[in-house]
Amino acid sequence: MRLISDIPVLLYLSYAVLHSFLLHTLAYEVCSNEAGGGEDGICPNGDTCCRRPDNSWGCIASDMGRNTATCCSDDSFTGCPVGYTCRSEEHDCIALNNSKSRFADPLTRVLPRYRLCHANEIRTVHGLLVNASSMKNSTIHAEIPYFSNMGPLERIPANVSSTVDMALIIIHGATRNGDDYFCAAKATLELQDRFSNVLILSLNYYSVSDDRPRHSLLYWNSKDADGQWRYGADSSGPVRYSSFSVLDQVVGQVQRQFANLQRITVAGHSAGGQLTQRWALLSDVPQNGGNYHFQTVVANPSNYAYLSPHRYMNGSWTIPNNINCPDYDKWEWGLQSGGDADVRYRDEALAKNVTAVLERYKTRNVYYLVGGLDRCNVSESEASGWCHSHGLETKCMDMWQGSNRYERNSRYVASLRRLGFGGKHHQRLVIPGVGHDHSMMFQSPNGIHAIYYGVPEGTNVETAESR
Ligand SMILES: *[C@@H]1O[C@H](CO)[C@@H](O)[C@H](O)[C@H]1NC(C)=O
Ligand SMILES: *[C@@H]1O[C@H](CO)[C@@H](O)[C@H](O)[C@H]1NC(C)=O
Ligand SMILES: *[C@@H]1O[C@H](CO)[C@@H](O)[C@H](O)[C@H]1NC(C)=O
Ligand SMILES: *[C@@H]1O[C@H](CO)[C@@H](O)[C@H](O)[C@H]1NC(C)=O
Ligand SMILES: *[C@@H]1O[C@H](CO)[C@@H](O)[C@H](O)[C@H]1NC(C)=O
Ligand SMILES: *[C@@H]1O[C@H](CO)[C@@H](O)[C@H](O)[C@H]1NC(C)=O
Ligand SMILES: *[C@@H]1O[C@H](CO)[C@@H](O)[C@H](O)[C@H]1NC(C)=O
């Protein structure tokens, strides 16, 4: 009712004010009541707020325990998951002995600390207008949802755009927590010293079941609980638009708008890692050839799109008899059509020349990151202790790629090596001591290298741990 009577007044307000007025429905934690939370006082929904030594507020991702993670007060800017305490001298987190928390992982008595993010930008989700000329029906208003550390792209002034030297585009996991991933990406900024002005965009692939802050934001159906956007399916509304077209458009926009970029990184974890790998394979957006380096970071996905029908079974690479698992090599697990959904983007990308697509992928920089402890294959309901798999996918098509994410990663990279994908462009990086956790993956030394510096050929491709 209020909204209706406010409309004449709103008409006189600027777009900016209207925008922020409408966006107040986005949920977030208010860390402090001082001055109504203040600019510095908010965290993504479900995060734990921690006060930092400079009196600002930092956030621990909700995956570390909904509102219950542990702030490390001794040093400063770090925290631990629920069920762990901070150890000052070792600068790590150690599991509480009596903890019944699911975070007290039998695999990980000791964890690296988590770097707090500082997330005053997650009050609003911005929208990039869907490219109308690529739509069948261009009359519908539809937007690609994203979080940004520089506000909406179209309002970044030219004199600021010209100072942006790197863009990091981050893709969330199956729970679609783009705000948390934004936060995790921001925390990596302080861990690098190479770039001075990094644009961070965290995309949000909403489900129809989500409470979207605006009806114009794209959403996907919920036929697949982990999201059909993982493998390029079209959105369900307000228009049909492939999740890969979304990324194509965002990358294209970044390439056009920021003339002095030295680096573009697209990084996804878990379901976001799946999307990133498949997009890097199928997209024809130029990834080489600019004045900048381009790479994709594929962290801890549940499965991969294989490039050949061979799988590692019973100790050797073979084309398996698929009577009991007929879909094992269909899209999204392999290149054949069929699988969980008809994906128009896949059909078009592979229609002309599959060999050319594979040759192109060979020249793309893809870093395959895996947590050295992302080895759990126990579902949450069965798990006692923290060793639950965080939604490991377990259809036969998945199991034929390996029994846990660590094994699937190592086998997938081995399958690429068999096809002649060399170490320069396609590299495997193990993150020691880390399980299925986006913050710790991205904030690890190898994660920082993959995102910001690149990885020289042969670095840590195999470690003692990864064998
Ligand atoms: C847990 O128990 C072990 C062995 O009893 C002990 O050495 C260790 O200090 C305990 N850790 C904590 C955090 O209490
Ligand atoms: C929009 O889509 C058309 C057709 O696919 C393409 O040629 C054009 O470059 C796109 N424009 C933007 C701004 O992405
Ligand atoms: C485009 O969408 C609008 C709004 O839903 C609808 O009225 C119109 O008929 C559609 N046009 C075409 C060509 O499908
Ligand atoms: C960009 O220009 C505006 C208006 O001229 C100015 O206020 C601002 O400080 C400039 N920013 C940068 C980074 O140069
Ligand atoms: C692997 O070995 C098991 C047990 O011997 C057998 O049942 C299965 O069919 C084999 N799988 C393949 C793909 O050969
Ligand atoms: C497909 O692409 C490959 C590699 O670029 C090329 O050698 C081959 O001639 C192409 N085949 C066709 C039918 O265009
Ligand atoms: C879990 O993985 C282990 C190997 O790490 C395997 O032996 C076991 O069968 C797997 N369990 C299930 C339920 O898949």
Residue 328: inside a domain: yes
* DSSP at 450: I
Output the pLDDT for position 320.
96
Is residue 51 located within the same domain as residue 173? no
Name residue, tokens 């020289």.
456
**202 close to 178: Cβ distance less than 8 angstroms:** yes
Ligand 7 pocket test: pick from 379, 392, 396, 403 the residue with the most ligand atoms within 8 Å of its Cβ: 403
Give φ, ψ of 425 to 5 degrees. Answer: -90, -35
Calculate what percentage of the chain has a pLDDT beyond 70.
85
Mean pLDDT of the chain: 87
Residues contacting ligand 3 via CB (< 6 Å): 137, 139-140
The three-state secondary structure class of 145 is strand
Residue 94 inside a domain? The answer is: yes
Task: Give the containing element (helix H, strand E) for 417.
Answer: helix 405-418
Residue 386 has pLDDT above 80, yes or no: no
Query: So what's the pLDDT on residue 210?
Result: 93
Same domain for 137 and 111: no
Cα(125) to ligand 2 centroid in Å equals 23
Report pLDDT for 138.
65
Each residue of 367-376: pLDDT tens digit? 999 999 999 8
Mean pLDDT, to the nearest integer, of 39-50?
87
**Among the ranges 4-13, 60-69, 128-137, 340-349, which has the highest mean pLDDT value?**
340-349
Could you give the CA distance from residue 211 to residue 341 in angstroms, rounded to a whole number? 24
Q: Are strands 92-95 and 57-60 parallel, antiparallel or unpaired?
A: unpaired
442-467 mean pLDDT: 73
Residue 86, SS3 per DSSP: strand
Ligand 7 atom index nearest CA of 394: 14
Domain's final residue, options 78, 99, 119: 119
**What is the spatial distance between Cα 262 and Cα 252, in angstroms, rounded to a whole number?**
15
**Least confidently predicted of 71-80, 136-145, 307-316, 400-409:** 136-145
In DSSP terms, 166 is beta-bridged to 198, 263
C-alpha 197 chain-centroid distance: 21
Tokens of 324: 């009991």
Structure tokens at 445: 């030394």
Q: What order of strands is seen across the sheet that includes strand 198-203? A: 126-129, 143-148, 198-203, 166-171, 263-269, 293-299, 366-371, 426-431
Based on the domain organization, do 322 and 223 belong to the same domain?
Answer: yes
Bigger pLDDT: 140 vs 300: 300
> Residue 3: inside a domain, yes or no?
no
1 domain-assigned: no
**Does 184 fall in a domain?**
yes
Whether 129 and 105 share a structural domain: no
Task: Write down the pTM of the prediction.
Answer: 0.89
Q: Decide which of 357 and 9 is more confident.
A: 357
Q: List residues bridging with 330 in a β-sheet.
A: 336
Report residue 141 as tokens: 């208003």
What is the residue with the minimal CA distance to atom 1 of ligand 3? 137
Angstrom distances, CA of residue 391 to CA of 178, 300, 336, 379: 18, 12, 25, 7
Helices then strands, each counted (H, E), the chain: 12, 22
Q: Give per-residue pLDDT as tens, 252-300.
A: 999 999 999 999 999 999 999 999 999 999 999 877 667 889 999 999 9
Return the higher-pLDDT residue of 388 and 58.
Answer: 58
State the angle between helix axes of 344-351 and 271-282 in degrees (0 to 180), rounded to the nearest 10.
30
48, two tokens: 């734990």
| Residue 287: both structure tokens together | 């990834």
Whole-Å CA distances, 57 to 25, 77, 149, 335, 421: 22, 9, 16, 46, 44
Same domain, 95 and 191: no
Average pLDDT over residues 407-412: 97
Strands 48-51 and 57-60: antiparallel
Ligand 5 pocket member 314 (CB < 6 A) = yes
CA of 349 from ligand 6 middle (Å) equals 14
Query: Which of 350, 355, 359 to mutate to test ligand 6, by most ligand atoms within 8 A of the CB atom?
Result: 355
Is 98 found in the same domain as 147?
no
User: Which structure tokens are listed for 140?
Assistant: 């519908």
Q: Are 166 and 150 in contact (CB under 8 A)?
A: no
Distance 320 CA to ligand 7 centre (A): 20
**CATH number of the domain where residue 385 is located:** 3.40.50.1820
pLDDT at residue 147, rounded to an integer: 98
The C-alpha R_g of the chain, in whole angstroms, comes to 22
- Of the residues 72, 93, 119, which one is the last residue of a structural domain? 119
User: Which residue lies with its CA nearest to atom 13 of ligand 3?
Assistant: 137
Whether residues 103 and 175 fall in one domain? no
> Is the CB of residue 87 below 6 angstroms from any atom belonging to ligand 1?
no
What range does the domain containing 144 cover? Answer: 125-464
∠ at Cα 172 (72, 347), nearest 5°? 165
**Secondary structure element (H or E) that encloses residue 244, with its range:** helix 243-257
> CA neighbours within 13 Å on the CB side: how many for 114?
35
The CA 132 to ligand 3 mean position distance, Å, reads 13
Residue 157 near ligand 4, beta carbon < 6 Å = yes
Pair (191, 311) in one structural domain: yes
Please give the share of the chain, as a percent, with pLDDT higher than 90: 67
Query: Does 8 reside within a domain?
Result: no
For CA atoms 136, 139, 145, 146, give the dihedral sign: positive
Atom of ligand 1 nearest to the CA of 97: 1
Q: How far apart are CA 103 and CA 82, in angstroms?
A: 6
Q: Are residues 177 and 281 in the same domain?
A: yes
The verdict on 280 and 345 lying in the same domain is yes
The amino acid occupying position 141 is H
Q: Are 148 and 114 in a shared domain?
A: no
Q: What is the total count of domains within the chain?
A: 2
**Comparison of pLDDT for 17 and 91, the residue scoring more:** 91
Question: Rounded to 5 degrees, what are φ and ψ at 34?
Answer: -60, 130
Nearest ligand to the CA of 157 is: 4
Q: Is residue 7 a part of any domain in this protein?
A: no
> Is the same domain home to 183 and 331?
yes
- Enumerate residues 6+ apart whose C-beta is below 8 A from 411: 311, 312, 401, 402
Residue where a domain terminates, one of 89, 119, 149: 119
* DSSP one-letter string for 275-309: HHHHHHHH--S--SSSSSEEEEEEES-S----SSS
Q: Are strands 70-71 and 57-60 parallel, antiparallel or unpaired?
A: unpaired
Q: Check residue 430 and report its DSSP letter.
A: E
